[in-house]
A and B are shown apart, each in its own frame.
Chain A
Amino acid sequence: MSKAIFPSQLVLIVEDDQLLKMLTTDIVEEAGFVALSAENADEAVALLAARSDIAMLLTDINMPGSMDGLELAHMVRDRWPHIKIIVVSAHGEASSAVPAGSLFFHKPYKTEAMISAIDSLIDAGKPGSGGQVYLNV
């Protein structure tokens, strides 16, 4: 099912809830990409530092570890600006705090909407699509 035409189509899911991680993995695969997962921000940073084929970060905000998902999203924007970012949270007020160009999803979200967002966000960054295009949120 994977669309692995381009090397950088790995989606890093950062989620400490196992059931949500299963669902998000299925969503990413349904969108046609390969899912990689981390339990917290520290694990995510280690993976991001070790690999260069991660195209997207899909992170929850509330999780244990040295930083939350929002801090992780800002760090990723600074250190790896080519990586697309989707932040999810049950608390809608966090939507205005996500890094510019990233998307925010309020939990619970519709799976179709998430599939479509992953697809369009990654497609927007593909070669020939005009380079990095940040969606307005």
Chain B
Amino acid sequence: MLSHKFRTVEDSCALAIAIVNTVREPLVVLDHDLRVIAASRAFYRTFKVAREATEGHLFFELGDGQWDVPQLRAVLGKILPERGTIEDFDVEHEFLNLGRRTMSLNARQVVYEGGTEPTILLGIEDVTDRRALEAEKDSLLAEKDILLSELRHRVANSLQIIASIIMLKAKRVTSEETRSHLQDAHNRVLSVATVQKQLQVVSGGRVDIGSYLSKLCAALAGSMIADDRAITIKVAGEGGTATCREAESIGLIVTELVINSIKHAFNLEKNQGQITVTYDVSGGDWKLSVADDGSGRPSGPYAQRKEGLGTGIVTALARQLNAEVDTVSGPQGTSVSITHAVVAARKVRAA
């Protein structure tokens, strides 16, 4: 198509030279021996070399051999002939008039149908400043993650202290009702503290749910189960990863349900048993369940017509996660499932 526009080879050459001189970035055209056929004005200006000392010379000999870099030799001598193109290949090198710079190379091998030997178009972009900014950004992001983790740890510690203060106050009051409210407040504050403490973000802003739930449940067992009660908490399932926000909600749901089981599932008749927390992922769907082998909760919050605070919290968190809550309670125990499925998510959004 382009060839039809030009009547002579000279006209095509004139266009090619104009293109080379128009591009903003340094560009060189090399023959198959890596000898410079032409170079852009930007190349001469950037690398402070003269046209007469460039054209017709071997590329690796230019400017006292400043381009004679092993990485570049590998790119032009081996990788390019094999692949045909090279994109965004960084070369860090001490250049004669520029000092240490990082150059991003884009190269294309041009093969001609008429039998002319292939030529190479080599674009060179000085990305030193950009790479430095990227490194600084990465460093700042890493620093932010450390600070955020430290902040989360401090918040968790403060909440733990507040929970302990509330518990001490609960012990001092004489009214049973007030004590019960203070103990509830203590449990809520402690559960948020425990979730915050165990929430460790791994790379890519994702949280490993399996490890997170294991640590969370170990902490819950340590702080919520009295020494004289033989209740164990087991974590099962394939695990998976979730965003920090999702993991926080999942952690709060687990905490709420585990505390409910500890409080209601095991009584004088059955004061020992197991609570099993399971998290399974399948594609974009996941299912969380907290099941106990206690005596069931016929009079517990999930069996009541009127919703308790714990149920309300679980329902609200599940809604945030576009998930559905399903509770089964009977003589064999209670199981609460939180399911996030594409179909379920649509139903929740439509409700």
Which A residues have a C-beta under 8 Å from some C-beta of B? 1, 19-20, 22-23, 26-27, 30, 108, 111
Contact = CB atoms under 8 A, between A and B. Distances in A.
A30 B168 CA distance: 7
A23 B161 contact: yes
Interface of B: 157-158, 160-162, 164-165, 167-169, 171-172
Secondary structure of the A side of the interface? helix
Given A1-B172, A108-B157, A19 B167 contact: no
Contact of B165 (A1, A23, A108): A23
A19 B171 CA distance: 19
Nearest to B162: A19
A22 B169 CA distance: 12
A11 to B, nearest CB: 15
B166 to A, nearest CB: 10
Contacts of A26: 165, 168-169
Contacts of A111: 164, 167-168
Given A108-B157, A108-B160, A22 B172 contact: no
Given A1-B172, A30-B171, A30-B172, A22 B157 contact: no
A19 B158 contact: yes
B326 to A, nearest CB: 36
Given A22-B161, A23-B164, A26-B168, 20 more contacts: A1-B172, A19-B158, A19-B161, A19-B162, A20-B161, A22-B165, A23-B161, A23-B165, A23-B168, A26-B169, A27-B168, A30-B168, A30-B171, A30-B172, A108-B157, A108-B160, A108-B161, A111-B164, A111-B167, A111-B168
A25 B171 CA distance: 15
B222 to A, nearest CB: 10
Contacts of B164: 23, 111
Nearest to B197: A108
B150 to A, nearest CB: 13
A19 B156 CA distance: 13
Nearest to A90: B157
Contacts of B169: 26
A109 to B, nearest CB: 10
Nearest to B193: A108
Contacts of B165: 22-23, 26
B179 to A, nearest CB: 14
Tell which of B162, B168, B172 has the most Cβ of chain A within 10 Å.
B168
